[in-house]
Amino acid sequence: MHVEKNVFNNVFNIVVDTKDKTKDNAKARMNLKDYCKRRELGLQVQPSGKVLKPKAKFVLSNEQKNIVYKWINELKMSDGYASNLHRCVNLDRRKLFGMKSNDCHVLMEMLLPIVFRALPIKYGIL
**CA-CA distances (angstroms) from residue 100 to 32, 37, 84?**
33, 36, 11
Task: Say what the pLDDT of residue 48 is.
Answer: 92
**Whole-angstrom Cα distance, residue 52 to residue 41?**
10
What is the DSSP annotation of 94-108? TEE-S--HHHHHHII
Judged by DSSP in three states, 10 sits in helix
Contact of 82 with 102, CB cutoff 8 Å: yes
pLDDT per residue as tens digits for the range 75-121? 888 777 777 888 889 999 999 998 889 888 888 888 888 887 877 76
Output the CA angle 19-21-24, nearest 5 degrees.
85
Contact of 46 with 78, CB cutoff 8 Å: no
Q: Quick one: DSSP state of residue 109? A: I
For the segment 16-26, the average pLDDT, to the nearest whole number, is: 83
The band of 17, judged by pLDDT with boundaries at 50, 70 and 90, is: confident
Output the CA angle 44-49-50, nearest 5 degrees.
60
Task: Say what the pLDDT of residue 121 is.
Answer: 62
For the segment 43-65, the average pLDDT, to the nearest whole number, is: 87
**Whole-angstrom Cα distance, residue 117 to residue 110?**
12
What's the whole-model pTM score?
Answer: 0.79
Above 80 in pLDDT, residue 123?
A: no
